Amino acid sequence: MSLSFTKMHGLGNDFVVIDARQNDPALDTATIRHLCDRRFGIGCDQLVFLTVPTLDGADVHVRFFNPDGSEAGACGNASRCVAKFVGGTPTLQTAAGLLPTARDGDLFMIDMGVPRLDWQDVPLSQACDTLHLPLHDAAACSMGNPHATIFGDASRAEALGADLEQDALFPERANIGFAQILSPTHMRLRVWERGAGLTLACGSGACAAVVNAVRRGRTERTCTVTMDGGDLQITWRADGHVLMTGPAVTVFHGTTA
């Protein structure tokens, strides 16, 4: 099966974007894994699948798939890439809800919605304080996908990420962020993403880290998040919505054999 695709990235977090709005190839798990494979396929952190929206007010329906074939509810970096791919200021229909977008030159802003803070919404496997989990004193929230943020040394991501992603506390696994607070308006962050591993950047992880840092009284509501691939600007507005601003880059277009 021949597929047209576009390779894109947001701060090195890279994606294969397949536009199925005119012709839906109905990809199965095995095909998704193959396309994401960096040795035998195209290679990416996530595959992004675009279809015709089903909700009023949406311009495109977006689904995100991890390299292991599992589906993610949200991806901030991929959402910026979709905004660039579609053009204009589209509203994205995702599993996390409708995500409005805006553009300022080469930067794209995504309204990532309101974080969910209750333990059932993350979700966690047991009732506990999401601001202080019984696991490395992490803080947890959902940005449409489960996140836990551990404050301290960001270099611990490689040593701890894989095991914590699959800890029994997270019935749907979790994205694990390792945040080092540099100032009230600046943090260093590395994220071990569920189903993908350590990536150069994680947009929803940056949003979650700022939300959790603000809840802990560690940062202001607008913060620069520096990741291995570069910087994102995150603002947790007074109305509860989290805004993420950063670049999106088109690398190349191609067709599979």
Is 212 part of any known ligand binding site? no
- Whether 95 and 152 map to the same domain: the answer is no
- Whether 44 and 94 map to the same domain: the answer is yes
Query: Is residue 233 situated within a structural domain?
Result: yes
- Whether 145 and 235 map to the same domain: the answer is yes
- Whether 24 and 72 map to the same domain: the answer is yes
- Whether 153 and 64 map to the same domain: the answer is no
- Whether 88 and 167 map to the same domain: the answer is no
Domains of the chain: total:
2
| pLDDT, position 109 | 98
Query: Is residue 116 situated within a structural domain?
Result: no
pTM of the full structure: 0.94
- Whether 88 and 153 map to the same domain: the answer is no
**Per-residue pLDDT reduced to its tens digit, 12-34:** 999 999 999 998 787 899 999 99
Cα(196)–Cα(200) distance, rounded to whole angstroms?
A: 11
Query: Is residue 220 situated within a structural domain?
Result: yes
Query: Is residue 118 situated within a structural domain?
Result: no
pLDDT in tens, the chain (257 residues): 789 999 999 999 999 999 999 987 878 999 999 999 999 999 999 999 999 999 999 999 999 999 999 998 889 999 999 999 999 999 999 998 999 999 999 999 999 999 999 999 999 999 999 999 999 999 999 999 999 999 998 888 999 999 999 999 999 999 999 999 999 999 999 999 998 899 999 999 999 999 999 999 999 999 999 999 999 999 999 999 999 999 999 999 999 98
| pLDDT, position 212 | 98
Query: Is residue 114 situated within a structural domain?
Result: no
DSSP 156: G
| pLDDT, position 26 | 79
| pLDDT, position 257 | 84
Query: Is residue 105 situated within a structural domain?
Result: no
Is 23 part of any known ligand binding site? no
Cα(187)–Cα(179) distance, rounded to whole angstroms?
A: 7
- Whether 92 and 154 map to the same domain: the answer is no
Tokens 């607008």 -> residue: 222
Is 126 part of any known ligand binding site? no
Cα(149)–Cα(131) distance, rounded to whole angstroms?
A: 10
222 backbone φψ class: left, alpha, beta (φ>0; ψ -120 to 50): beta
Residues annotated as catalytic are: 75, 202
Query: Is residue 17 situated within a structural domain?
Result: yes
DSSP 29: H
- Whether 94 and 148 map to the same domain: the answer is no
Identify the domain containing residue 165 by its residue range: 139-240
Amino acid of residue 133 = L
Cα(71)–Cα(59) distance, rounded to whole angstroms?
A: 21
Query: What φ, ψ does residue 248 adopt, rounded to 5°?
Result: -145, 135
Q: What is the CATH number of the domain that holds 218?
A: 3.10.310.10
Angle at the Cα of 204 (from 190 to 84), degrees rounded to 5? 110
What are the helix (H) ranges across the chain? 29-36, 76-86, 157-165, 203-215
- Whether 92 and 181 map to the same domain: the answer is no
- Whether 76 and 147 map to the same domain: the answer is no
Q: Which residues contact 108 (CB under 8 A, 6 or more apart)?
A: 80, 83, 84, 101, 102, 245, 246, 247, 248
- Whether 147 and 90 map to the same domain: the answer is no
Is 46 part of any known ligand binding site? yes
Cα(74)–Cα(16) distance, rounded to whole angstroms?
A: 15
Is 205 part of any known ligand binding site? no
Query: Is residue 149 situated within a structural domain?
Result: yes
